[in-house]
Amino acid sequence: MADVLILAIETATGCGSVAVTRGVGHTGKIVAEYTLQPDTPHSRHLLGLIQNIMATAGLRWQQLTAVAVSQGPGSFTGLRIGMAAAQGIALAAALPLLTIPTLDGLAVQLPPVNWPVCCLLDARKQQVYAAVYRFREKGWERTSPFLVMKPEELVLSFQEPTLVLGPGLPAYRAIFHGHPMVRQLHTTPVTPRAAAIGLYAADLLVQGKIQDNKQAAPLYVRASEAEVNLLTTKEQTDNGR
């Protein structure tokens, strides 16, 4: 399946990226990958970057096998922008769309290890998005639900000493460092990458794990500020009756 060509989009964090990948499994290759300048508006530069990378790869939309997008959790605005772009391209070119959880995209970048790994993203408000993974015979497997919680609570939930990594780590390193349930802190930066999303999506595609494009939606994990405010207002109204 060397002809599997994926256009991948990653906009879950401030440093977004796009990539074109070819092939599946260990033989998969990165044709091209472009990174957005950190904390620049994705809405302003994403579509231009996608057009540039398609030109660099020498591809037409119809030559792609599928589009893949980082689903979240992450920046609510970034996720919406990336999802809208991916859906628009998939619809216009009649391509399958694969949504990949952002934390899964972090885990699949790692080499095999024999202990659990917790991938982190900064959720702001003194919280992290997290998920725990184990390496199995078929690769990395998520062994926890997607979580959003205070890092102090997260470390207490570990069932055994765990490797902690991801862009959510630096802000809370002091909480994890030296804790008996933290096996070690991963010192090499591991960040969400469109190329990892693309290669992982290609593997899922050949396994027949294709979803209905119309069902594609961001994975927020945490309610938005507007939803929280609406719920609070409703509770106050109900209590006032």
What CATH superfamily classification does 5-102+191-223 receive?
Answer: ATPase, nucleotide binding domain (3.30.420.40)
What is the reported pTM? Answer: 0.90
**Interacting residues of 189 by C-beta distance below 8 A, sequence separation 6+:** 167
Choose among 200, 16, 6, 10: nearest CA to 96.
Answer: 6
The tens-digit pLDDT sequence of the chain (241 residues) is 558 999 999 999 988 999 999 999 888 999 999 998 877 788 889 999 999 999 999 999 999 999 999 999 999 999 999 999 999 999 999 999 999 999 999 999 999 999 999 999 999 999 999 999 999 998 999 999 999 999 999 999 999 999 999 999 999 999 999 999 999 887 778 999 999 999 999 999 999 988 888 899 999 999 855 444 433 344 444 555 5
User: What is the spatial order of strands in the sheet that 17-22 belongs to?
Assistant: 29-35, 17-22, 5-10, 66-72, 97-101
Give the CA distances from residue 154 to residues 28, 116, 129, in Å, rounded to whole numbers and listed in that order: 34, 14, 10
pLDDT value at residue 238: 54
pLDDT value at residue 224: 58
Q: What does the DSSP 8-state code read for residue 108?
A: T
Examine residue 218 and say whether the peptide bond preceding it is cis (omega within 30 degrees of 0): no
Q: Which of the following CATH numbers is that of domain 110-185: 3.40.720.10, 3.30.1950.10, 3.30.420.40, 3.40.640.10? A: 3.30.420.40
Choose among 6, 30, 17: nearest CA to 98.
Answer: 6
Q: What is the rounded distance in angstroms from the CA atom of residue 175 to the CA atom of residue 193? A: 26
Domain ranges across the chain: 5-102+191-223, 110-185
Record the tokens describing residue 120, joined without a space: 């982190």
pLDDT value at residue 52: 97
